[in-house]
Structure 1
Amino acid sequence: MRLKHLSVLAAVTALLALPVQAQAAGAGRTYEVAPWGSDHARGTQAAPLRTIGACLDRVRPGDTCLIHRGTYREQLTPPSGTAGAPITLAAYGDGPVTVDGTERVTGWKDAGDGLVAADTNLPPDPDFNAVFLDNSRAAEGRWPNSGSDPLNTTWAEADPTSTDQHIDDTDLPDADWTGATVHLWAGSNPWAQQTGTVTAGSPGKLDFKGGNYRCPPLCMGNQNYRNYYLVDSKAALDQPGEWYYDEAAHRLYMVPPKGGMAGHTVTAKHRLWGVDLTDSSYVTVRGLNLWGTSLRTGKSSTGVVVDGLHATYISEFSTLPMPPDSDLAIPPTEGHIVASRILDSGVQILGTGNTLKNSEISQSAGDGVLVRGTGNTVTNNYIHDVGWMGSYTPGIEINGNDQTVTHNTIRRTGRASIDTAWQLNGTEFHGNRIAYNDLSEAMRTSRDGSPFYVCCSLNGSGTSIDHNTSHDADGQVGYYVDNYSGNFLLHHNVAWNTGSRGTFFNGHTGPSIANQDHNSSYGIGINGNSVLLSGATDASGSYISNIVGPKPISVTQIGDPLPVVRSNLISDQPGYTDPVNGELWPKAGSPVIDAGETIDGITTDVRGTAPDIGAYEDGEPIWSTGCDLPGCQQRVRHGAWTATASDGTDASAAVDGDINTRWTAAAAQAPGQSLTVDLGETKTFDRLSLDAGRDTSGQPYGFSVSVSRDGKAWSGAVARVAGRSFTQDAAFPVRTARYVRITLTASGPVPWVVNDLRLYGEGPDASSTLQAEQATSTYGVRLGTAATGVLGSGDRIGYRQASVNGGRLTVRLASTCTTGCALQLRLDSPQGPVAATLPVRATGSASTWREQSVTLPHRVTGIHTLYLVAKGAHQVAAVDWLTIRP
């Protein structure tokens, strides 16, 4: 089922699919395409073509296909343009243009046993089949049943008597499972998932072939983890919407919705690559939507620009085979199962000098984006809900050298947000820039890893990982440079709520040479080391400095020269502005100010007598991470929340904002047990995230969510959640409430636990710090990596769909205007009602930043698009950030 709160496809389309007639008119011929056209027409506005393919048959270098609103079920294979005359495919701007990779399935007939079936030919490789019911993802039949969110999966647990290729489970239904796919997450420390095929079965028992055979740590048996589920079997069909495809009979089976198939639409995937640029160069693709299909460039592609792509349900598969030897850059071993499906999933930017920007990529069993080759750019993208099959497929997979990956928001991933696969990449990782990315809610289907992960034996010479934020993840580390990798430069990174460490350089009985971490800030939710370099046989040239964090720094002192660790501050009171909400910049009087050392090329823009320790320089604008598209900012600001448990236990740990503290109920799970949270003020949200920590017990077997404005009158259940994933998300229509109640709906053998609760909305929470450079719209002003340029009278920045509940506007700004300047806060349009006028006072110089505030005449509540409009002079003020708080 599609999680509406996690997609802003329609909104982004409306903002980015702007008319491009003026852009297209100059270089070459423009053809128009529309569903009401004819492929025998001339391709003019009065006589458009019917299909995009017909336009591509006509275009030459410099030409443009302008595509009117509609759905196009075809595969696009553009020819090449030239460097000076690219070919352009662009949305016209009159509504969404969707390239759909599916075809309708019709002819449904009763198939007995409560099933219906239709004879249909699906793509030749059944591993990549995908089915949609009424434009939502339909789940393949599976046991045990799971919810609609593939990142909130439900596992069966094998008995300890299971062995490497055998499962004992007294709960297994008595059915013929022969030929089914068994999906395994098992072992002492299962850092990857794997699949096999059931060969025989009897009541409570299964034999299977496949998997990794690596035992331990990745095997079934008497291990810490014995998780599995079954798919690809007709025996698993038992709830409405589930499907099974009989490849031999070319027959699709489905459990029909209640009331039957009448009035329902079923489509199935037919095209893996809706836009196939494998043999194309110098092509621009702008403002298109992809549904149930993906886009790729090729090894020889160059000069391709993909701008404003909105790709949903891009990759689906049910097996995790070992990568073929031909895909591997180093000799194959059984451990290379982790690289399964990296090269055949996601939006793929291959080749040299290609760009993916301003795009939303979501819903993938594998990669969100694969960038591979040399000198490609992936910037300002929103990537979410990917990698749910549990191999090393991340939000962005980076292979090759000289890649630029910046300003992306990556949220809700099965494993890493950003990853590189050395098995496919080889050991070079030179000259890559990974910066200003926001990485959160990672590691949903793994325990061993991190939002940012590199492995193994990589040489990162010339690579910089800087100005990133890593937070609210279920792994162990914020930034993880694993197994013998060296020459990685990390600096000005931020991590909180990442588990045991901020950054980990893992020598793992081998060398970890010349790795560096400078000027990084680590905060709440780290309980091991702020930085750890361990297990190295040689740590020569390692250098850790200007770090601020809550836990010690530990570095193996071996090598020539010996590692350097100095000018760091380890303190649980470092003077952060708001650590629970990730605002780890120093406030006045912080001991980090002017306490650092100078490092060439790293400590720039110094204010005061010396560099500050940590990621932010006091007196400079506060840099931010992530994209500036709608949906990139969703986390609700954590205030003075309190929690009350129905069993009377102290539940404060559930709402303290620290992922490592835990509330545990007093007794085993039973329906009716509850936890009630008082947010202290009304908030607007549409998703609750319940984090039950990093072990395998205590996750609720089922719960419902209800809300209240006053703590007395409660809604019914706005969401019901089943499953036992480490973090469980409840999604529901937008609600405004002060109180939230979580009530158990199922029994379980152990007490339930909560490590952290988080809330999310469709847009930003205006009580959070709204960074100016993350504005979703601008007029007349340039945005930088921190703050805006100077706004003149009439210039503005805007934030779409912000949740507002406040009476005081605060803006951090720099201004030389001495009289008559102001910033107006307007609601819903640039000419909308004026909610506040902030008189701007000169700060002393254009680089002196001050906070200035004004009380609103009337409190503002609800969801609004906010505009900050400059008035009064040619140069009014540069803006760093703003907040609206009570």
Structure 2
Amino acid sequence: MRPRHLSVLAAVTALLALPVQAHAATPGQTYHVSPKGSDHASGSQSRPLRTVGACLDRVRPGDTCLIHHGTYREQLTPSSGTESARITLAAYGDGPVTIDGTEPLTGWKSADGGLVATDTRLPLDPDFNAVFVDNVRAAEGRWPNSGADPLNATWAEADTTSTDQHIDDTDLPDADWRGATVHLWAGSNPWAQQTGTVTATAPGQLDFTGGNYRCPPLCMGNQTYRNYYLVGSKAALDQPGEWYYDRTAHRLYLVPPKGGLAGHTVSAKHRLWGVDLSHSSYVTVRGLNLRGTSLRTGADSTGVVVDALNATDISEFSTLPMPADSDLAIPPFEGHIVASRILDSGVQILGSGNTLEHSKISRSAGDGVLVRGTGNTVTDNYIHDVGWMGSYTPGIEINGNGHTVTHNTVRRTGRAAIDTAWQLNGTEFHDNRIAYNDLSEAMRTSRDGSPFYVCCSLNGSGTSVDHNTAHDADGQNGFYVDNYSGHFRLHHNVAWNTGSRGAFFNGHTGPSIANEDHNSSYGVGINVNSVSLGGATDASGSYFSNIVGPKPVSATKTGDPLPVVRSNLITDRPGYTDAVNGELWLTPGSPAVDAGETIDGITTDVVGAAPDQGAYEYGAPLWSTGCDLPGCQQRVRHSDWSATASDGTDASATVDGDINTRWTGAAPQAAGQSLTVDLGESKTFRRLSLDAGRDTSGQPHGFTLSVSGDGTHFGDPLARVSGRSFTQDAVLPRQTTARYLRLTLTASGPAPWVVNDIRLYGNGPDTASTLQAEQATTVRGTERGTAATGVLDSGDRLGFRSANVRGRRLTVRLAPVCAGGCSLQVRLDAADGPVAAVVPVTGTGGWQEQSVTLRREITGTHDLYVVAKGGGPVAALDWLTLRP
């Protein structure tokens, strides 16, 4: 152990210095709401009101609506509280409280072609319609057919004879497509998607208007990308659950489930904003579920706190129009198409001094969260499966100044995980803190971008982008400051499997001034630059140091003062713990240890003789990213995987953990071709992700996933994927444990299939991965910071929910403070459940790793609890693993 500048307890104390926001409240009246109540009742617990609206009619500043278990089909529009007397809307705690934005549809009758139809006037703009069958989102009728997951889109590919407003496609069915919406992803480098309207059709042809705002690069024609699909036509209805709304006749058509509609429910979206706080301030909303609707604050809202929201299917739309001129902060031009629907979607935190925390937000055609205004906070949220319409709508859209966006997990986004929109916000982006976020599986429906994306001409003075992880993304960079933006300070970020670069500052024939990246670590899956500043006419004041990465750090040599590039470690042997699994922290003997330079405000809490290079200081607790809610940790640890192809070719590139390596089949795709993967040991997972790279040539046209315990006997397929998208996910009906996987093609294609990377995900954390103590889903009796917990006293505990366990060797990293007779117990399924392991704790020796061997191997899915035992303070905890 190296000499330290800080004592262990002082270091732990520093790590745990977290801001605490107090929300003062003056006690007031409490009203109860229940589906079993009456709006003429008193609102007491024994005589509850029936609707939340009736409660909101009664509340005054300081009052509370406690909402009991049930579904409420209404829009909640609270009045304002005051800073000292808030209004509170909260789930009572006796079961889920769902604010449903849909209304049931009845009166179904048989229609031609095996369809059913009902006459109904849907109240929303037709572009925002959504239909649900048995409370599950139903797909609008579409050609070509696609699966239920809109981020696993199947695209048609136009012939090379297509032109700006014309598509030739010999596969196009002969039907009347007039009036349909054509969704385009086309051009030489399609960094945005667009929509148009079909005006004429003929066999194998169609004409349309709209779209193609920039041609080239965003046009159909003879281009690298010629992808499209059609919606909004009755002609597309051909598989169960698809729907079409005739907006003229006010008639909704549906392909019924197999066996008919009997026993099924159908509903349609009626309310965009189930919780509308656009004219509210000093309101707390806690513990509500939203389904088929969303929540917003307003430009004048302040002091709103949204806590423990669970929002699904929040936004739906089918077209991508140019934003209205009145919404634009920059004079309109055709490139502003990329800002389409940013202001129309997502959970919206507008105004000043508002907070969204501890929430789960999923399934949106557009934004996950829009944060706009000044001084808002978005922290500890799990945001996923958003932005599938392919505009610049991200997981979190940040407009304005002084925001804090921290500790969020953002996964599976059509484009960026975190993004800015200068067209809507203007060029200021001052004093924002974007930190400790985990950004993965981004860029599912675009190529030119990154998990973290800044554009354009933004002035980021005072903004810090630090301690974030970006990985397993389909774009080109991990962190991307694009087109003339300057004064952005990045530091202590980590990226791997992000394509060309870890971080890219793009001058693009203009200025890229005073941008910085310090003490960041970049790993596998980066094949051009670890950090690059390129194409700038002026790069004055830019500064890149203490970087660790596999590829060079470079900057355009222009400006006064010239950019500084120094004290960087460029090597393929940096001494990372496990680069393939993103564990880019340093091991003993790493050349990065004590090799960094001192940078004011960046190289703090130094351990040893000098700062280390890279994002993690050796000998200090390991900081982590993302939220601590259930579901925030899912990636299955990659170990000694191997793969064999049915055609006998070397398929090792599919499982080497590097998205830039590629396996290609020996012949054009044909049903029955397969890949078999040996995981080396049994793994528990729910989803397989197949990354086919960033071009269209070798996407699988459909495959099944089967599993085996012995590598010989494979059962029936557990998942089927329709194919023809860049990254394709096979989702199993339940969590499954297996050692062997087989992917088998189900369709033919003109080119051999390709696979760049195969990844697995479970329902919870994999204990073979490093479980960071500060990311435990439950904590009692101690505090946690961005790295490690505080000292656990006897009886204190933390727990990891639904962990995937297979092993008998437990390793923990701890800082003991106990003189003797203390231990950390690992218990299963409950804090007082069976003891699986006991780690003795004695002494005060600084951070150290201790391992114990369990009496028997533990397998399956368990809640894991770490419980401190002793006569007083026991230890601070950094991380733990449980492996075979």
What's the TM-score once normalised by structure 2's chain length? Answer: 0.97
* Deviation (angstroms), 1:712: 2.3
* Deviation (angstroms), 1:723: 2.5
**Mapped pair 1:278 → 2:267:** no
Structure 2 counterpart of 1:808? 809
Structure 2 counterpart of 1:444? 444
The within-5 A match list for 1:442-521 is 442-521=442-521
Alignment match of 2:847 (pick from 846, 849, 854): 849
Structure 1 counterpart of 2:857? 859
The within-5 A match list for 1:16-35 is 27-35=27-35
State how far apart, in whole Å, the 1-side matches of 2:262 and 2:736 are.
33
Contact 2:704 2:721 in 1 (8 A): yes
Contact 2:779 2:798 in 1 (8 A): yes
State how far apart, in whole Å, the 2-side matches of 1:41 and 1:24 are.
30
Structure 2 counterpart of 1:405? 405
Structure 2 counterpart of 1:754? 755
State how far apart, in whole Å, the 2-side matches of 1:251 and 1:603 are.
64
Q: Cα gap change, 1:212/1:332 in structure 2, threshold over 3 Å: closer, same or farther?
A: farther
State how far apart, in whole Å, the 1-side matches of 2:439 and 2:243 are.
34
State how far apart, in whole Å, the 1-side matches of 2:753 and 2:283 are.
53
State how far apart, in whole Å, the 2-side matches of 1:70 and 1:816 are.
48
Where does structure 2 lack aligned partners over 5 or more consecutive residues?
Answer: 1-22
State how far apart, in whole Å, the 1-side matches of 2:605 and 2:648 are.
52
State how far apart, in whole Å, the 1-side matches of 2:362 and 2:210 are.
30
Secondary structure, aligned partner of 1:113:
helix
* Deviation (angstroms), 1:841: 3.1
Secondary structure, aligned partner of 1:819:
strand
The within-5 A match list for 1:58-69 is 58-69=58-69
State how far apart, in whole Å, the 2-side matches of 1:272 and 1:767 are.
42
Structure 1 counterpart of 2:794? 793
* Deviation (angstroms), 1:103: 0.4
The within-5 A match list for 1:248-287 is 248-287=248-287
**Mapped pair 1:417 → 2:414:** no
Structure 2 counterpart of 1:163? 163
* Deviation (angstroms), 1:695: 1.2
- Can you list the C-alpha shifts for 1:719-742, whole angstroms capped at 9, x where unaligned? 000121110000011101111111
Contact 1:212 1:335 in 2 (8 A): no
Structure 2 counterpart of 1:604? 604
State how far apart, in whole Å, the 1-side matches of 2:715 and 2:876 are.
44
Structure 2 counterpart of 1:884? 882
- Can you list the C-alpha shifts for 1:476-529, whole angstroms capped at 9, x where unaligned? 000000000000000000000000000000000000000000000000000000
Contact 1:117 1:253 in 2 (8 A): yes
Contact 2:537 2:558 in 1 (8 A): yes
RMSD of aligned Cα (Å): 0.9
Secondary structure, aligned partner of 1:654:
helix
State how far apart, in whole Å, the 2-side matches of 1:24 and 1:827 are.
38
* Deviation (angstroms), 1:686: 0.5
Structure 1 counterpart of 2:619? 619
**Mapped pair 1:211 → 2:211:** yes
State how far apart, in whole Å, the 2-side matches of 1:775 and 1:509 are.
46
Contact 1:233 1:244 in 2 (8 A): yes
Structure 1 counterpart of 2:833? 832
Contact 2:213 2:335 in 1 (8 A): no
Secondary structure, aligned partner of 2:510:
strand
Q: Which amino acid aligns with 1:498?
A: T
State how far apart, in whole Å, the 2-side matches of 1:416 and 1:25 are.
38
State how far apart, in whole Å, the 2-side matches of 1:281 and 1:212 are.
42
Contact 1:212 1:334 in 2 (8 A): no
How many pairs are equivalent? Answer: 861
Alignment match of 1:875 (pick from 853, 873, 878): 873
* Deviation (angstroms), 1:201: 1.1
Structure 2 counterpart of 1:300? 300
Contact 1:24 1:64 in 2 (8 A): no
- Can you list the C-alpha shifts for 1:178-234, whole angstroms capped at 9, x where unaligned? 100000001111100000001111111111111143110011101111111000001
Q: Which amino acid aligns with 1:838?
A: V
* Deviation (angstroms), 1:25: 10
Structure 1 stretches of 4+ with a deviation exceeding 6 A read: 23-26
**Mapped pair 1:338 → 2:338:** yes
* Deviation (angstroms), 1:824: 0.3
Structure 2 counterpart of 1:693? 693
Calculate percent identity across the aligned residue pairs: 80
State how far apart, in whole Å, the 1-side matches of 2:174 and 2:659 are.
40
Contact 1:24 1:30 in 2 (8 A): no
Q: Which amino acid aligns with 2:861?
A: I
State how far apart, in whole Å, the 1-side matches of 2:204 and 2:844 are.
74
State how far apart, in whole Å, the 1-side matches of 2:474 and 2:605 are.
35
State how far apart, in whole Å, the 2-side matches of 1:242 and 1:695 are.
29
State how far apart, in whole Å, the 2-side matches of 1:843 and 1:804 are.
30
- Can you list the C-alpha shifts for 1:752-791, whole angstroms capped at 9, x where unaligned? 1110000000100001000000000011010111000000
- Can you list the C-alpha shifts for 1:525-572, whole angstroms capped at 9, x where unaligned? 000000010000000000000000000111101000000000000001
State how far apart, in whole Å, the 1-side matches of 2:636 and 2:575 are.
22
Structure 1 counterpart of 2:373? 373
Q: Which amino acid aligns with 1:536?
A: A
* Deviation (angstroms), 1:26: 6.6
Structure 2 counterpart of 1:641? 641
Contact 1:538 1:559 in 2 (8 A): yes
Structure 1 counterpart of 2:532? 532
State how far apart, in whole Å, the 2-side matches of 1:651 and 1:222 are.
33
Q: Cα gap change, 1:843/1:587 in structure 2, threshold over 3 Å: closer, same or farther?
A: farther
State how far apart, in whole Å, the 1-side matches of 2:817 and 2:827 are.
23
**Mapped pair 1:83 → 2:83:** yes
State how far apart, in whole Å, the 2-side matches of 1:861 and 1:842 are.
32
**Mapped pair 1:154 → 2:150:** no
Secondary structure, aligned partner of 1:503:
strand
State how far apart, in whole Å, the 2-side matches of 1:394 and 1:710 are.
42
Structure 2 counterpart of 1:592? 592
Contact 1:234 1:244 in 2 (8 A): yes
State how far apart, in whole Å, the 2-side matches of 1:789 and 1:490 are.
28
* Deviation (angstroms), 1:717: 0.3
**Mapped pair 1:233 → 2:233:** yes
Q: After superposing the two structures, state which structure 1 stretch, 668-677 or 502-511, moved more.
A: 668-677
Structure 2 counterpart of 1:819? 820
Contact 2:808 2:882 in 1 (8 A): yes
Contact 1:646 1:673 in 2 (8 A): yes
Q: Which amino acid aligns with 2:842?
A: R
Q: Which amino acid aligns with 1:758?
A: R
Secondary structure, aligned partner of 2:385:
strand
Contact 2:24 2:83 in 1 (8 A): no
